[in-house]
Amino acid sequence: MTAPLEVVGRSVERSDAVGHVTGRTRFAADRAFPGMLHLKMVRSPLHHARVRGIDLSEAERVPGFVRALTAADVPHNRYTILSLIGVEPEEEFVLAEDRVRFKGEAIVAIVAETEEAAMEAVAKVRLDLDELPAVFDVEEALKPGAPIVTHWGNNTFMYEGHPCRRVRLGDVEAAFARADHIVEGVYNSSPIEHAPLETTGCIAVPEGGRFTVYTNTQALYFSLDNTSIILQVPGNRLHFIGGTVGGGFGGKVDVIVEPIATLAAMKTGRPVRFVYSRSEEMQVSSTRSAWRIYLKDGVTADGRIIARKVTSYADSGAYSRQTPYALTKHAANAAGPYAIPNVSIDAYCVYTNRQPTSAMRGFGVTMASFALEVQMDRIAETVGLDPWSIRFLNAYRNGDMKPHRKLADDATLIETMQAAAALVGHELTAEQQAMTSAPRAGGDPGGR
């Protein structure tokens, strides 16, 4: 016997709501510990440069200066964000070694008795940088002779030996040749900053051979495992405490502050607080990727889409973070929830000298949906249908073949549109009201 629903359909008070609205919630950075030190970063003032030298002599004379950390101090000086799920290579440095690849990249960590002393010492570090040409546009980055951002020699992530994630179904060019209309569009989006109320940060506290890290990460054990790898210490020596993210939306999945704060606590034997300023949050934390998406559709006179070609470029910035994974999600969804028998998708993860990009609310899929749905409206206008009709006509049904060779299962686009029409008072045709996501007559998985 199925248990009665106790939450669905009811208004349930959040367990943390009262603390948040009354200001009583204790967030990660609100804590203070005896002898706590403060960590601030020396960051690159250039978008792309070789690091020729670092002069710490003036910084070391600042009252309250404790120590500096450079790349040589980090046991495994690579962020390992995606390697835990088998996506490699590791290519982002915890602290820059011979080259910086974006403005704001961390080069030296300064640890001091107070935040003010740390900031003063940061200002007195002298960097010897040899500026290099930079590239900021995804298509410019793919041209011959473009400045190379990566260490492997080209500006794309490689998928099974290819410079893009590829999806193929049917024969797109043949379908274009017999289409009554060709509808093309180019869709661009800019980077989007998450702008959390609480900036990225943590406090690492030594506790008898172990280290407790109070952090506002969105992925507690992911952060613990990555920190363990970077510092080359067993995971059982790390105790991560989270829970109050302070706003994240995907941006606090990246493991940016915990490894270096914990390393500083290991080196000094004292608690270390590392919290981004608002300007750091805007400049160096991951944004949603900027995208450029080219769409070309072959459409019959009655509005059926028989071919769709997608060429898309995600700006990963200088390093991968979560973007190569986002491209896989993007490629799986780039044709939309529509039954199209001929599809070609080339999705590029491109490296530029911008700040790295990463996860944000459906990353990879959200921008595809934006481009596709604007394109659907253009198709409707081209063939003389209303926007509702073009979507009902082409909607997935159970058993339809998706471009990545998976059958649609539990498709509910038709039912969702019917419910949406009822909510907004849009009158559907009798045929649209009678439609369901049941398999098509004859069980044709191709959808035609």
| DSSP, residue by residue, 36-65 | -EEEEEEE-SSSSEEEEEEE-HHHHTSTTE
Q: What share of the chain is helix, strand, coil (3-state, %, to 5)?
A: 30, 25, 45
Can the peptide bond before residue 196 be classed as cis, meaning omega within 30 degrees of 0?
A: no
d(CA 139, CA 313): 8
The pLDDT assigned to 441 comes to 79
Tell me the pLDDT of the chain (448 aa) as tens digits: 677 777 888 888 888 889 989 989 888 888 999 999 999 999 999 999 999 999 999 999 999 999 999 999 999 999 878 887 788 889 999 999 999 999 999 999 999 999 999 999 999 999 999 999 999 999 999 999 999 999 999 999 999 999 999 999 999 999 999 999 999 999 999 999 999 999 999 999 999 999 999 999 999 998 999 999 999 999 999 999 998 898 888 889 888 999 999 999 999 999 999 999 999 999 999 999 999 999 999 999 999 999 999 999 999 999 999 999 999 999 999 999 999 999 999 999 999 999 999 988 888 899 999 999 999 999 999 999 999 999 999 999 999 999 998 999 989 999 999 999 999 999 999 999 999 999 987 655 444 4
The pLDDT assigned to 2 comes to 72
Residues 6+ apart with CB under 8 A from 76: 229, 230, 231, 232
CB 359 within 8 A of CB 219: no
Q: Which structural domains are found in the chain, ordered by start?
A: 28-132+194-275 (3.90.1170.50), 165-192+286-443 (3.30.365.10)
The pLDDT assigned to 10 comes to 83
The pLDDT assigned to 12 comes to 87
- This prediction's pTM: 0.93
User: Beta-carbon neighbour count of residue 410 at 10 Å?
Assistant: 6
Residue bearing tokens 């702008």 = 195
The pLDDT assigned to 445 comes to 45
The pLDDT assigned to 448 comes to 46
The pLDDT assigned to 81 comes to 81
The pLDDT assigned to 282 comes to 93
The pLDDT assigned to 80 comes to 77
Residue bearing tokens 């500096």 = 68
The pLDDT assigned to 363 comes to 85
Which of 440, 385, 382 has the alpha carbon at shortest distance from 414? 440
- Residue 272's φ and ψ, nearest 5 degrees, are -130, 130
The pLDDT assigned to 443 comes to 55
d(CA 223, CA 225): 6
